[in-house]
Amino acid sequence: MSKDESKSKATPPTRIIGAEGVVHQVFHEAYRESKASWVTGRPQPAVMTALSRGWFDAGPLLDLGCGTGENAVAIATARRELQILAVDAVPAAVDHAQALIASAALTERVRLEVADLRSFKPTESFGTVLDAGVLHVFSDRERADYLEMVASALRPGGTAIFIEFSDAETRPRGPRRLAHDEFSAALLQAGFKLDSIETARYETTVHPGGAEAWLVRAIR
């Protein structure tokens, strides 16, 4: 057996996640081991693009999968009247976000909640929902339920902003990759009107230049 063959057998190629989605425990382990590649210490560039377009002007805002809070802080800093509810399933991430929000003196306008987004049921209505990297982790079944929840959280005419990996990203590591037609069909099935879908980048610590992604705006 050659050296290359031995290496190949010892280290199988990294598989790209498919329709089964990402195992939920992965996120808890990533934060516990400080290996959350989506934590970059700054807001996603696509979030800043949406912010510059006024896509977060209608409040209150629901930030789903808020992680360590950089997106929520950037939006709240730029939109001084906006109330935000930021939700994540991982307590360690929410603790970090709480400290970041406190240091930015935003605790009166940015609330935090720990909740599993596979079963989360909002108790209030929102003008805007942000999903910066959540939809692309779900299985097909979970995705339909999740989008139904997002739609129910929005008041009529409200908007949802999604930033997710696209099928143009072929490098290993990361969540499942969504094709344009697949993404559009899922939104339409959930009762959304697709306002815009464009290419963007999802910044991580393991995808130099950012992963190929979609920036989507959908109307309830």
Strands (E), the chain: 61-64, 84-88, 110-114, 126-132, 154-165, 193-202, 211-219
pLDDT the model gives residue 38: 80
CB 81 within 8 A of CB 58: no
Q: What is the pLDDT of residue 26?
A: 55
pLDDT at 7 over 60: no
In a domain, 214, yes or no: yes
Q: What is the pTM of this model?
A: 0.87
The answer to the question of residue 21 being in a domain is no
114-140 tens-digit pLDDT: 999 989 999 999 999 999 999 998 988
Q: What is the Cα–Cα distance from 186 to 135, expressed in whole angstroms? A: 11
CA distances from 180 to 74, 122, 174, 177, 215 (A): 28, 28, 18, 10, 11
Q: What tokens were used for 149?
A: 């929840």
Matching residue, tokens 């909002």? 122
Q: Is residue 3 part of a domain?
A: no
| Mean per-residue pLDDT, 175-181 | 93
188-215 pLDDT tens trace: 999 999 999 999 999 999 999 999 999 9
Confidence of residue 174 (pLDDT cuts 50, 70, 90): confident
Interval 130-172: pLDDT, tens: 999 999 989 888 999 999 999 999 999 999 999 999 999 999 8
Length of the chain (residues): 220
9 within some domain? no
135: which DSSP letter?
G
Question: Each residue of 53-107: pLDDT tens digit?
Answer: 999 999 999 999 999 999 999 999 999 999 999 999 999 999 999 999 999 999 9
pLDDT of residue 160: 98
Cα(114)–Cα(22) distance, integer angstroms: 19
Q: Residues 37-58: pLDDT tens digits?
A: 888 999 999 999 999 999 999 9
Q: Is residue 73 part of a domain?
A: yes
**Considering the domain boundaries, does residue 123 fall inside one?**
yes
Distances (CA, A) of 21 to 5, 25, 44, 119: 30, 12, 22, 16
In a domain, 125, yes or no: yes
Determine the structural domain holding residue 145 and report its residue range.
40-219
Characterize the bridge pairing of strands 110-114 and 84-88.
Answer: parallel
What is the average per-residue pLDDT within 171-180?
A: 90
If one counts the domains in the chain, the total is 1
pLDDT in the model for residue 29:
58
- Closest to 94 measured CA to CA, from 31, 161, 160: 31
CATH number, domain containing residue 105: 3.40.50.150
Q: How far, in Å, CA of 19 to CA of 22, rounded?
A: 9
Establish if 178 belongs to a structural domain: yes
pLDDT level of residue 173 (50, 70, 90 thresholds): confident
Neighbours of 111 (CB within 10 A): 15
